[in-house]
Amino acid sequence: MNTVPYLDCLAKLLTHGLPKLIFTFLDQIEALPREMLDSESFILVEAKSLILQNNYEDAATVLEKVQAAYAGQISQETWRLLGECYFQMQDFDKALNSLNHALSFEETFEDPAVYIRLGHVLLLKKRWKQARDAFLKSIRCRPTAEAWGGIAFAEYRSEDNDNCYEALCEANLLDNERSDIWAQLTLLHLRFENWSLADHCFRQCLLMNPDSDELLLEIGIEYLKRDRPPTVAEAAARRALKIRDTGQAHDVLADALAKQEFYEKAILELQVALRLLYDQPDIRKGIFEKALQLCQDLNDPPLAESIHIAQRLADQRLEEQMNATQGPG
C-alpha cells in the first residue's frame, strides 16, 4: 500500500500547527496495516506532533522504541529529534550523543537549528572551542543572532575578548532586541572597565525583557565584584527573581543590600537562600557564615538565632530527602 498520500496529509497538519489532529487522524485510519503504522516514517510524525505540544518525554519514549526496534540503525531525522527531546529534558549527555549521531551522516543539514542546538549543549558542558565551531557551522548555513551570541559566550568564557566583541556586534546587527546579547555586552564592558557603556547595555537588556536569570545574576555579581553601584546589582537580582526564585538570586540580592547598609533586609534574603539551597550544603555553609557575621555586626542575637534555625531546617530537609531517596534499609 502506498503510504505517501497519508504521510503528506500528516505533514500538512504539522506545517499548519495542528498536532492534536494527527492523533485523531491516526486513530481513525483502520485501513492501514499495523506494521505500516509502526514504521519509522509514521512514528516520526507522532513524535513531531508531541514535540509541537512540548511533550518531550513522551516524544522521546516514542523515538526510543524506534531506536530499539531498528537496533540503532535509524534515520538522521530520528537522531536529531531525540537530541532535541533530551536537550529539553536536560539530559545533556544523551542530547550530545544523539546530535553527534545526526551529524555523522554524509548528508549535511541545511537548517542551522541542529548546529545551534549542538552548540548550546557544548556550552552547557563547558566545551568552549567545540561550541564555537558548532555555532560557526550554523552560520555557514545561515547567519543568525543566536549563533553569533553563542560564539560570543564561548569566546567570553575563553577570555578571548576581541573575538567576543566582534561576535556580539555581528549579533546586534542582525537583531538588536535580544536581551541576551545586551547582557553579554554588559559583562564584556565591565571586563573592559567601560563603566558608562556597561550601564547603557544593562539598561538596554532590561528594556528587552530578559529571560535568562543566570546572565542577570552574573551581571549582578560582576557589578559587586568591581565595586560598581550596588543598586544596579540589586536591580539585576530582583529581575532574576521575577524569572525564577532561586537561592543564588537571594544571595546576590543580599550582597547588594548589604553594600547599601540595609543589613537586616540582607539577612532576611540570606535566610531565604538557606531554605532554597537546602540540597547544596557546601554553598549553604558560606551563606550561613556570611549571615552570622552580619548579625554579629548588628549585635542582634535573636536574628542570629533565626539564621541558626534556618540552617537546621535546611539540614533536616536534606536529611529527609536523602532518606527518601535511599528508601527502607
- Output the pLDDT for position 12: 54
> Which distant-in-sequence residues (6+ apart) come within 8 Å of 73 by Cβ?
none
pLDDT digits (tens, 9 = 90+) for 125-135: 999 999 999 99
3-state SS of 63-100? HHHHHHHCCCCCCHHHHHHHHHHHHHCCCHHHHHHHHH
Residue 11 pLDDT more than 70? no
pLDDT digits (tens, 9 = 90+) for 263-286: 999 999 999 999 999 999 999 999
Residue 299 pLDDT more than 90? yes
At 2, the pLDDT band (50, 70, 90 cuts) reads very low
Q: Tell me how far apart the alpha carbons of residues 241 and 230 are, in angstroms, rounded to a whole number.
A: 16
pTM of the predicted structure, to 2 decimals: 0.84
The CATH number of 108-176 is: 1.25.40.10
Domain spans, the chain: 1-97, 108-176, 177-244
- Output the pLDDT for position 52: 85
Task: Give the residue-averaged pLDDT of 10-37.
Answer: 51
Residue 13 pLDDT more than 50? no
Task: Give the residue-averaged pLDDT of 116-123.
Answer: 97
Q: Which residues of 253-286 are buried (b: 16+ CB within 10 A; e: fewer)?
A: bbbbbbbeebbeebbbbbbbbbbbbbeeeeebee
Residue 72 pLDDT more than 60? yes
What percent of the chain lies above the pLDDT cut of 70? 87
**Angle, in degrees to the nearest 10, between helices 4-15 and 19-28:** 150
Task: Give the residue-averaged pLDDT of 190-210.
Answer: 98
Residue 32 pLDDT more than 70? no
Look at 3-12, 97-106, 245-254 and tell me which has the smallest mean pLDDT. Answer: 3-12
Task: Give the residue-averaged pLDDT of 153-176.
Answer: 98
Same fold, 1-97 and 177-244: yes
- Output the pLDDT for position 3: 47
CATH of 1-97, picked from 3.40.50.150, 1.25.40.10, 1.10.10.10, 3.20.20.70, is: 1.25.40.10
Mean pLDDT of the chain: 89
Residue 15 pLDDT more than 60? no
Q: Topology of domain 177-244, per CATH?
A: 1.25.40
Task: Give the residue-averaged pLDDT of 106-118.
Answer: 90
